[in-house]
């Protein structure tokens, strides 16, 4: 994936680039680099492994870096280890490029460039693309022609920012599949991977379309079509929304702050969609009848959003009787049968930029299915690609582990399922109103849960002290999905090897791994699964497992009797929302385990917030 930011204008370009990259570090921070045109017109590159801070220090140590045109990159490694040499930009004294994406035919291009006499300094796919551009520029002497010819030879996905030494105040940009936009500033213009990099306040921009090439000067932006058509100007779009200040709100980590944001995220997402106590999606432009008429509804998503999607599919089936299923987006195109023109495909994504989810959505469109996006980022690629976009209003989420967006996605999909069930005549108005009330009460219930954080801290300390290694997460029904999400949290931020299993499936193999002291985290929020969960707990406890149960409640103390410790997240049972309450308690649990282990919680190793490569 990676983040791209370039600036040309009256300001100090390197400083602008560093500020832009700072907002893009969530896309990867394995290395960073910047190319600039010196006052003498030479292309100067500085890059190093590690986070942006390392590059900033190197730049500071290098003395004067004044320039009016610069191009930077923050990397999430795909081809080649995160080393200085593999950091972007790549190129020659004539041309330097930064890249987001994967060039799939890079091995063949590399062979050809070697035959042409190019000497590779890195293991990246990007360097081959840079040399192809350089070669065409050398032959044709025109940057647009060089980029067009090079693009015709590249396979895969790319967003490129390009600097030519011969055009010292111009940035060039082109893309295929990977996102890129041109930002318009009062003083100068920029090239950026996404809106977040354009700063706070009103942001003026042009999205770059597939195959389009942009030539960006300090006061103008000219676009060129992929073929040899004439250049043109485009209207400026305005993203009116002011980016919320990205601070930690007094908490030690973004993740903890974002968990604390959950009640407000729910209010902002749900309340505008509840009118007179009943669900109302009219402002979203969603055609509920079309959804209900779909023989099948498919959810596609990745990571945490996929767990929200699985819970969404479960709500659609239970409340609205819809044949709904959730598929990991990267596997969707292997699904058999694929959806047809009568089906609906719903893509769920926090960022709205995840390449696998976007590709699945596009495949669904090609098969004729109607598409809906559930995203947290208005105007994102997935929102634009779908027939209809419904937005969660969780605000910017900075920490790599998704928390508030997960809760908002699940609650939104529950409310939508309720609206569909009512429309289908499966739920009466009284029941719909009751479910809406339950959802409306969730923010306050979460606040009360967070007041008990110390109890969760104590459990996390105990877990950290006694955890002997591989941790099982088990649950039944929707709780098996909460178990999957909670295991993901623990492994991604606390690096504790953890896997989830449907509790009933354990005895068919995986229980062989349970021995004295094996940690088992049991999730039990669904009352109808309680009896069977108790049996599962006894099965593992009798084999020596150390069982920690996260439940909604435990009225008769049976869960306590079958576990070493129990945390009950709910005061009064509320079946529609209890799984979310328990999920939030487990988010806090993972967070505090990671704190005991002094992990880098907001930016875990090897991960990025938004993955824009397939």
Cα-trace Rg, the chain: 26
Distance of closest approach, residue 329 Cβ to ligand G6P, in angstroms: 8
Residue nearest ligand G6P, Cβ-based? 303
344 binds ligand G6P (CB under 6 A): no
**Which of 257, 404, 489, 609 is labelled catalytic?**
609
Nearest to 590 by CA among 394, 411, 392, 406: 406
Do residues 394 and 443 lie in contact, with contact meaning Cβ atoms separated by under 8 Å?
no
Supply the minimum distance, in Å, between the C-beta of residue 20 and ligand G6P: 20
Q: Does residue number 351 form part of the binding site for ligand G6P (CB under 6 A)? A: yes
Instruction: Say how far apart CA 223 and CA 209 lie, in whole Å.
Output: 10
Nearest residue to 181 via CA among 418, 377, 404: 377
Let me know the angle formed at the C-alpha of 137 by 35 and 7, rounded to the nearest 5 degrees. Answer: 30
Restricting to residues 548-607, name those near ligand G6P by CB under 6 A: 607
Interacting residue with ligand G6P among 350, 471, 480, 563 (CB under 6 A)? 350
Using CB under 6 A as the binding rule, whether residue 31 contacts ligand G6P is answered as no
Rounded least distance, CB 354 to ligand G6P, Å? 3
The reply to whether 302 belongs to the active site is no
Nearest to ligand G6P of 96, 350 (CB atom) = 350
Residues in region 285-314 near ligand G6P by CB under 6 A? 302-305
d(CA 11, CA 395): 30
Identified catalytic residue from 2, 48, 388, 553: 2
Note whether 484 binds ligand G6P by CB under 6 A.
no
Closer CB to ligand G6P, residue 239 or residue 607? Answer: 607
Q: Residue 337: how many CB atoms within 10 A of its CB?
A: 8
Residue among 51 and 461 whose Cβ is closer to ligand G6P: 51
Q: 597-603 long-range CB contacts below 8 Å, 24 or more apart? A: 597/464, 597/494, 597/495, 599/493, 599/494, 599/495, 601/253, 601/255, 601/399, 601/401, 601/493, 602/253, 602/254, 602/255, 602/398, 602/399, 602/400, 603/25, 603/26, 603/29, 603/399, 603/400
Q: Looking at beta carbons only, is 304 or 549 nearer to ligand G6P?
A: 304
Beta strands 3-8; 69-75: pairing state: antiparallel
CB neighbour list of residue 547: distance below 8 Å, 6 or more residues apart: 520, 521, 522, 537, 540, 541, 562, 563, 564
Residue closer to ligand G6P, measured from CB, 170 or 609: 609
Site for ligand G6P in 60-99 (CB under 6 A): none
Residues 381-420 that bind ligand G6P (CB under 6 A): 400-402
Interaction between residue 362 and ligand G6P (CB under 6 A): no
With contacts defined by CB under 6 A, how many residues of the chain interact with ligand G6P?
16
**SS3 at position 28:** coil
Q: What share of the chain is helix, strand, coil (3-state, %, to 5)?
A: 40, 20, 35
Smallest distance, Å, CB 399 to ligand G6P?
9
Contact assessment for residue 313 and residue 327, using Cβ atoms and an 8 Å cutoff = no
Q: Which residues contact 260 (CB under 8 A, 6 or more apart)?
A: 249, 251, 450
Q: Tell me the C-alpha distance between 322 and 201, whole Å.
A: 42
Pick the closer one to ligand G6P by CB: 193 or 354.
354
Q: How far apart are CA 426 and CA 614, in angstroms?
A: 39
Q: What is the DSSP letter of 598?
A: T
- Of the pair 314, 351, the CB lying nearest ligand G6P is at 351
Task: Choose among 87, 16, 2: nearest CA to 48.
Answer: 87
357 lines the binding site for ligand G6P (CB under 6 A): yes
Closest distance of CB 409 from ligand G6P, Å:
8
CB 333, min distance to ligand G6P, A? 17
Distance of closest approach, residue 411 Cβ to ligand G6P, in angstroms: 15
The yes-or-no answer on residue 609 being catalytic is: yes
User: What separation, in Å, do the N-terminal and C-terminal C-alpha atoms of the chain show?
Assistant: 9
Does 379 contact ligand G6P by CB under 6 A?
no
Shortest Å, Cβ 552 to ligand G6P: 25
Nearest CB to ligand G6P, comparing residues 74 and 351: 351
Q: Select the residue interacting with ligand G6P from 611, 612, 613, 614 (CB under 6 A).
A: 611
Active site residues: 2, 609
Residues that bind ligand G6P (CB under 6 A): 302-305, 349-351, 354, 357, 400-402, 607, 609-611
């Amino acid at each position: 994936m990676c983040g791209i930011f370039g600036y040309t204008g009256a300001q100090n370009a390197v400083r602008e680039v560093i500020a832009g990259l700072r907002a893009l570090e969530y896309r990867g921070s394995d290395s960073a680099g910047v190319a600039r045109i010196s006052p003498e017109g030479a292309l100067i590159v500085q890059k190093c492994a590690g986070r942006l801070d390392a590059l900033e220090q190197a730049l500071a140590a290098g003395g004067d870096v004044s320039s009016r045109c610069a191009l930077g990159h923050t990397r999430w490694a795909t081809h080649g280890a995160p080393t200085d040499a593999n950091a972007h930009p790549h190129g020659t004294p004539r041309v330097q490029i930064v890249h987001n994406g994967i060039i799939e035919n890079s091995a063949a291009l590399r062979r050809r460039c070697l035959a042409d006499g190019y000497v590779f300094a890195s293991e990246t796919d990007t360097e081959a693309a840079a040399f192809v551009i350089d070669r065409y520029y050398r032959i044709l002497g025109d940057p647009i022609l060089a980029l067009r010819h090079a693009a015709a030879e590249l396979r895969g996905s790319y967003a490129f920012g390009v600097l030519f030494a011969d055009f010292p105040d111009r940035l060039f940009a082109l893309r295929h599949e990977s996102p890129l936009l041109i930002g318009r500033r009062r003083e100068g213009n920029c090239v950026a991977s996404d809106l977040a990099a354009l700063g706070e306040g009103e942001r003026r921009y042009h999205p770059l379309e597939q195959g389009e090439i942009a030539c960006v000067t300090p006061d103008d932006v000219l676009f060129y079509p992929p073929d040899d058509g004439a250049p043109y100007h485009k209207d400026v779009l305005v993203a009116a929304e002011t980016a919320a200040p990205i601070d930690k709100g007094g908490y030690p980590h973004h993740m903890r702050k974002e968990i604390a944001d959950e009640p407000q995220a729910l209010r902002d997402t749900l309340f505008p969609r509840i009118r007179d106590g009943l669900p109302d999606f009219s402002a979203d432009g969603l055609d509920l009848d079309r959804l209900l008429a779909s023989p099948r509804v498919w959810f596609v998503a990745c990571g945490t959003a996929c767990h929200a999607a699985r819970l969404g599919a479960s709500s659609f089936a239970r409340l609205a009787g819809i044949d709904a299923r959730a598929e990991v987006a990267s596997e969707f195109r292997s699904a058999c049968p694929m959806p047809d023109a009568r089906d609906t495909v719903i893509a769920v994504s926090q960022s709205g930029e995840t390449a696998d989810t976007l590709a699945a959505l596009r495949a669904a469109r090609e098969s004729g299915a109607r598409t809906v996006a559930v995203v947290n980022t208005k105007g994102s690629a997935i929102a634009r690609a779908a027939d209809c976009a419904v937005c969660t209003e969780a605000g910017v989420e900075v920490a790599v582990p998704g928390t508030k967006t997960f809760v908002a996605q699940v609650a939104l999909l529950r409310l939508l399922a309720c609206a569909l069930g009512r429309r289908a005549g499966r739920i009466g108005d009284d029941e719909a109103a009751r479910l809406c009330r339950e959802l409306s009460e969730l923010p306050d219930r979460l606040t009360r849960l967070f007041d008990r954080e110390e109890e969760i801290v104590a459990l996390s300390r105990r877990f950290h002290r006694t955890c002997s290694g591989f941790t099982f997460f088990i649950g039944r029904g929707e709780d098996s999905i909460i178990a999957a999400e909670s295991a993901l949290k623990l492994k991604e931020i606390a690096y504790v090897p953890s896997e989830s299993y449907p509790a009933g499936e354990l005895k068919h193999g995986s229980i062989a791994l349970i021995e004295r002291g094996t940690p088992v985290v049991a999730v039990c929020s669904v009352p109808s699964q309680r009896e069977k969960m108790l049996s599962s707990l006894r099965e593992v406890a009798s084999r020596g497992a150390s069982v920690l149960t996260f439940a909604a409640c435990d009225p008769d103390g049976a869960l306590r009797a079958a576990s070493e410790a129990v945390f009950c997240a709910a005061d009064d049972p509320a079946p529609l929302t209890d799984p979310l309450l328990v999920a939030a308690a487990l988010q806090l649990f993972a967070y505090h385990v990671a704190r005991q282990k002094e992990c880098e919680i907001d930016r875990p190793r090897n991960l990025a917030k938004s993955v824009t490569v397939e």
